């Protein structure tokens, strides 16, 4: 069993972005990322701080816009519009979830597709569907990067994704399909779940339920990717997979923390670099 080191792969991706950013700066272009944070959700604050650190590391300019939870829809959309117009901002990211009363879909749709470095805009989602895209959602793309780094071939494999969110589950299925995997997406209405998951060569768990995937749900020699970020009964960070029970059955497994999480942020850096190149005619 090999534990997939997301921190290591993420560091390699960020180093590549840093080197490309150096080249861009020689041409007078410094990639700029704007991060909008509404309200004071502690988990969102941690994510935003990690994104700022990553920007510093690779040489991007990052600007944070922290708004109170009482911010109106109009105020938030006005800020997005202002950032759409700014030439020094190449990527716009609005940290989700938003406080109650704000329309997340309206905010996602307001971000210019060419600055949508989360790849949530309908236009970018449609382009991912047909395989002609500029940006990929950060978590699924980060998972593909990890599979490539460990020479795990998707072609012809039986791939099962648990979870059908727009952010992870659905695009994950699409990216595996683009690499010729045979994909099944499971969810809360799936019957005989363990029967399906136990036939997977590659199993991706993205349900947000602590230790949901148990040993009987995993095939011997499977590749197990854990997207979950949960807290167990002792408040310790853990994933959707019961790591201790499952690890000895796997050929490869991602830990939590230190697996998928770091990859999400390094992919955001890749997307922002790509956005800067596209907007300056350098891609």
Please return the burial class of 136, using the count of CB atoms within 10 Å of its CB with bins 0-12, 13-18 and 19+.
buried
User: What is d(CA 96, CA 118) in angstroms, rounded to the nearest whole number?
Assistant: 11
Is-catalytic flag, 51? Answer: yes
User: What is d(CA 186, CA 62) in angstroms, rounded to the nearest whole number?
Assistant: 37
Residue of 115, 116, 118, 170 with catalytic role: 118
The alpha carbon of residue 155 and the mean position of all alpha carbons in its chain are separated, in whole angstroms, by 22
Listed residue (94, 115, 117) closest to 105, CA to CA? 94
Is-catalytic flag, 118? Answer: yes
Please enumerate in sequence order all residues whose Cβ is within 8 A of that of 27, keeping only pairs 6 or more positions apart, or say none. Answer: 280, 282
Residue of 14, 51, 211, 249 with catalytic role: 51
Can you read off the two tokens belonging to residue 87? 């030439």
Contact 96, 231 (CB under 8 A): no
Three-state DSSP at 92 gives strand
Residue of 14, 95, 201, 226 with catalytic role: 95
| Residues annotated as part of the active site | 51, 95, 118
């Amino acid at each position: 069993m090999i534990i997939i080191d997301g921190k290591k792969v993420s560091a390699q991706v960020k180093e590549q972005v840093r080197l490309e950013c150096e080249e861009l700066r020689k041409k007078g272009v410094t990639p700029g990322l704007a991060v909008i944070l509404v309200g004071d959700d502690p988990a969102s604050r941690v994510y935003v701080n990690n994104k700022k650190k990553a920007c510093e590391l690779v040489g991007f300019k990052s600007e944070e816009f922290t708004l109170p939870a009482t911010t109106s829809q109009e105020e938030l959309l006005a800020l997005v519009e202002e950032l759409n117009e700014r030439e020094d901002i190449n990527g716009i990211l609005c940290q989700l979830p938003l406080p109650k009363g704000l329309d997340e879909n309206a905010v996602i749709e307001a971000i210019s597709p060419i600055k949508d470095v989360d790849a949530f805009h309908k236009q970018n989602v449609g382009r991912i569907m047909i395989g002609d895209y500029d940006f990929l959602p950060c978590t699924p793309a980060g998972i593909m990067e990890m599979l490539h780094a460990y020479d795990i071939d998707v072609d012809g494999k039986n791939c099962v994704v648990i979870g059908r969110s727009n952010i992870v589950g659905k695009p994950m299925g699409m990216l595996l399909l683009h690499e010729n995997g045979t994909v099944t997406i499971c969810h809360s209405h799936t019957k005989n779940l363990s029967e399906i998951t136990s036939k997977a060569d590659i199993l991706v768990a993205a349900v947000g339920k602590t230790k949901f995937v148990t040993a009987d749900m995993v095939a011997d020699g499977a590749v197990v990717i854990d997207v979950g970020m949960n807290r167990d009964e002792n408040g310790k960070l853990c994933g959707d997979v019961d790591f201790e029970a499952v690890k000895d059955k796997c050929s490869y497994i991602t830990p939590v923390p230190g697996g998928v999480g770091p990859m999400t942020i390094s992919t955001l850096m890749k997307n922002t670099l790509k956005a800067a190149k596209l907007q300056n005619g350098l891609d």
